[in-house]
Structure 1
C-alpha cells in the first residue's frame, strides 16, 4: 500500500514547496495541503518586510531544478521583500507543482488508520489518516505513507503577557494590539503617535527601526521599546561578527537609534495587564509600571500549533516543544557560541515512524530560523523516505555564524551595558538622527 500512497506535506510555504520538489525528483507521489488560498500565505502577511537573507539563500536546489525546466531564471544578488520572494520564486514553484497542491485545505488531525495514540499493535504498518476541513464542502480524510508537517508557527503568535498566557484584559483589548510587523508604508497610522513595541527578536528590531526612521523625520512620533529582560543583553545581535551582514546590521542600527534618543528602551517590563481608555491601550507591568500609547505592537515570538497532532506519538523538548535531538542546539537559554548545526532526518525523527516536523515548526518556540535550515531538512527527510540513507545522513549545509555567544544571559541580571556579543568587541555607537526571525 505504501508504494501508491502519497507523502502528505502540510503547508505550501517555502519548506513545504521545497519538500514537494524533492519528492517529485525522487518519483514519489505527493499532496500538499495548504489552509490559505495561495502559496506562502504566511509570507504574504509580511510581504512588505525585507529579508536579511540574500536570494541564493532563499531558493531550494530541487525547487530551482524543477523551475529551470520551464526556462525560469533564478534572481541574482540582493535582499528581496517577502512579496518579491513570492512573486519571483515561491509562486512560480507552486505553479510548477500544479494540482499537487490543494489550497483552502486546513488539516484538523493526523493519526494512524484504525489506531489512536494508545494502540501499539501493527501501528507502524498502518497508513496515516489526515483529516482535512476544506474552505468549501465537507470534511474528508486522506491516507498517506508519510507526513511532513511544514505548517510553520506564524498562525500562533505569543501573547503580550509575560507568563506566556494572555495578560489580563489582553483579549478584550485585542483590536488595539497588533501581533504582526505593521506595514509602515501606512504612515498615517503611526506618524505623530506613540507606539510601543514589545519583544526582542528580529521582528521587533525591524519594527523599531521603521518607527525610529519616522521619529527622525517627525519629532512628534515617539517610540518605546519594551523588553522583558532586565538588560538589553544580546537583543542587538552579533553586529559585524554576524555572517549574515544584513542581520547584523539590524542590531547595529537599533543600537544607534536607542543611543540617539529616537527610541526609548525600557527593560524588565513584563506585562501583567492591558487596560484601555477609548482607543489608547495601557500596559501594566508586574512591578506596577505603566506604559500608555496610541499603538502597541506585540512581537514576542511564535509557538507551534500541536493541537492537530494529539493522536501521534511525538518526542518533544519540554521547554521548546521542538524535536528533542535539536532542542539543545537551538535553545536560546543555553546556546553557546556561533552557528547552530544543520539538522537532518535523524535529528527530526519521531517515535511515530515517517512523521517529521520541518521548517520553523521544528524549532518550536526557538527564534532565528533560516530558510537554508529548512531546505536542508527537507532534502534529508525526503532522502530518508526514499531509502537513500547515505544522502539522508550527509550534511550539505554549514549555517552562518550569528556572532552571538553565551545564550540569552541571566533573565534578571542588571548592570549590563548595550555592549556587543562575547565573540566580538562591542559595536561602537554612532550618534545619528524571517525581518522575521523565520528567514
Structure 2
C-alpha cells in the first residue's frame, strides 16, 4: 500500500482482533477507520458475556493494544486468571475503545453492506491495484454512506452467521418459519434468558463445546425449575467427541467439561439422541417438532443451535477473493486449518503472506479468516493483524516474520462454560474456538469463545 496516501485503512469490526488491527496500524503511522455494526465495541462478545474462556488473560490481550492502554495508566488483569466474556469487554475492550486514539476513529452502528473498488466491479483489471476501495455502510436510521479506503482489513467475525440446523449445509425444511423457537448459539439460560428456558422442553443440537456448556447450565436450571426437560441431539453415532479424554485430556478444563456432560447423560438428566440428522422443523401452537432423516421426531419448546458458524461473504461479492473450496478460508490457509486434520494447537503461525487475496491490500483476519473451521485462537488473530499492518506499511520483513508464543498443548477458542470448574493457574490454558480460547461460542482467539473446540466443535 502507498503509505503516502491520504486515505485510511478500513477495519471492519471492533472486536478483539479489529481493535488490535487499529492499534497496530497506528503504530505503523497508518490511519484506521473502524466500522462496527453493533452499538459498542465488542458487541458480539457482549452477547456471550456469561461464558468463561478456557484461556487466561495473558493470551487474550494484544501487544500493541496493551501499549496504547498502558500509556493511559490502565492496569492489566492478572495474567493467569480466566476471564468471562463480560470481563473481556469491561476490563479490556471497552477501555481500549474509549482511548482518544481509537474512539476518534471508531464508528458504531455502522454496518458494512458492500466492499468494492471505486468505479469498477470485479471484472475490471486495468489500474485495479491503485484504485481506492469503496465501502458502502448503513448507519442508524437507514442512512447510507460511502467511505474510500487505501486498504481493508475485514475482522467482522462469524458470530452473526451461524450454520443452519439442516444436515446438508442448508436450512432444514421449516427452519426459517420456526425462527422464533430457535435461540442464539450460547443462550444465557441462567441469567438474562432464564424465563425462556425455565420449565420448558429444550432441545440442544450439536456436538461441540457450546452444546456442552449449554447442557451443563440447563441441568443447573432444571435443579431449581421443575418441568425443565433437556434433550440433546447429535448427528454422530456417539457423543464421544464432547466427552473428550476426561482426566487424561491434554486440556484439563476441557476434560472436566466433557466429564460433567457424560455424567448428566448417565444420570438421565440429559436425554441423548445420537445419529440425529435434522431434516425438518414444524412449528405448532405448543412448540416445534424436530424431525431427523430416519423419521424420529422430538418435541421441544426451544431449540438451541450449537451448529457452528460460517463467514458472511456477501458483502465481498465485488472483490476478487481466493478461498479454499472446503472451509472458505484464504486458499493457502485452508489446508492448514481444516478441522478434519488440525486442531488450533497444530496450526502454524501465519500472517499477511497467507491472508492476502488477488485484490491487493485486502485481508480477512480473525475468526472470519478461518471460514467454517472452528479452531481459531485470539493470539492467532493478534499475530495476523500485526503482520498485516506491517505489510500495509511496506515492511515485508516484519510481515513475513510470524510466530506465536503458546504452550505446547496449544490454546484454542472453545468456551469453558459458566458453571465449569476453573482449573488451577498451572493448567488453565486450553480453549477451543475463538480466541485465546476466547469464548465466542463455537466463536475465538487466543481468547475467543465461539464455543468452539478442537475439531468441528460447533458441528452437529
With the shorter chain as reference, the TM-score category is 0.7 to 0.9
The one-character-per-residue Cα deviations of 1:117-157 (angstroms, maximum 9, x if unpaired) are: 01111211111111112114642212111100000011111
What's 1:143 paired with? 148
Matched, 1:86 2:93: no
Matched, 1:155 2:157: no
Q: Is the 8 A contact 2:3 2:393 kept in 1?
A: no
Q: Within 2, Cα distance between the matches of 1:260 and 1:344?
A: 47
Q: Is the 8 A contact 1:340 1:399 kept in 2?
A: no
What's 1:415 paired with? none
Q: 1:297 aligns with which of 304, 307, 318?
A: 304
Shift of 1:222: 2.5
Q: Within 2, Cα distance between the matches of 1:292 and 1:314?
A: 43
What's 1:285 paired with? 292
- Distance change (3 Å), C-alpha of 1:435 and 1:156: closer
CA RMSD, 1 decimal = 2.2
What's 1:262 paired with? 269
Q: Within 1, Cα distance between the matches of 2:59 and 2:281?
A: 40
| Runs of 5+ unmatched residues, structure 1 | 405-433
TM-score, structure 2 length as denominator?
A: 0.84
Q: 2:360 aligns with which of 317, 339, 353?
A: 353
Q: Secondary structure at the match of 1:254?
A: helix
Q: How does 1:43-192 map to 2 (within 5 A)?
A: 43-76=45-78, 77-96=80-99, 97-136=102-141, 138-186=143-191, 187-192=194-199
The one-character-per-residue Cα deviations of 1:87-107 (angstroms, maximum 9, x if unpaired) are: 100001101112110111111
The one-character-per-residue Cα deviations of 1:158-211 (angstroms, maximum 9, x if unpaired) are: 121122211111111111111331112244433333211001222112111111
Shift of 1:248: 4.0
What's 1:276 paired with? 283
Q: Is the 8 A contact 1:238 1:402 kept in 2?
A: no
Worse-matched range after superposition: 119-128 or 251-260? 251-260
Q: Secondary structure at the match of 2:152?
A: strand
What's 2:315 paired with? 308
Q: Is the 8 A contact 1:206 1:435 kept in 2?
A: no
What's 1:421 paired with? none
- Distance change (3 Å), C-alpha of 1:354 and 1:272: same
Q: Is the 8 A contact 2:177 2:283 kept in 1?
A: no
Q: 1:365 aligns with which of 347, 372, 376?
A: 372
Q: Is the 8 A contact 1:314 1:351 kept in 2?
A: yes
What's 1:10 paired with? 12
Q: Within 2, Cα distance between the matches of 1:227 and 1:63?
A: 40
| Runs of 5+ unmatched residues, structure 2 | 412-438, 449-460
Q: Within 2, Cα distance between the matches of 1:252 and 1:352?
A: 47
Shift of 1:334: 3.1
Worse-matched range after superposition: 343-352 or 144-153? 343-352
Q: Within 2, Cα distance between the matches of 1:292 and 1:152?
A: 33
Matched, 1:386 2:386: no
Q: Within 2, Cα distance between the matches of 1:370 and 1:311?
A: 29
What's 1:252 paired with? 259
TM-score, structure 1 length as denominator?
A: 0.88
Shift of 1:301: 0.7
The one-character-per-residue Cα deviations of 1:258-300 (angstroms, maximum 9, x if unpaired) are: 2333222211111111113313111001110011122211110
Q: Is the 8 A contact 2:339 2:375 kept in 1?
A: no
Worse-matched range after superposition: 178-187 or 280-289? 178-187
- Distance change (3 Å), C-alpha of 1:340 and 1:261: farther
The one-character-per-residue Cα deviations of 1:30-71 (angstroms, maximum 9, x if unpaired) are: 100111111111111111222222111111111110000110
Q: Is the 8 A contact 2:17 2:155 kept in 1?
A: yes
Q: Secondary structure at the match of 1:325?
A: coil
Q: Within 2, Cα distance between the matches of 1:299 and 1:293?
A: 15
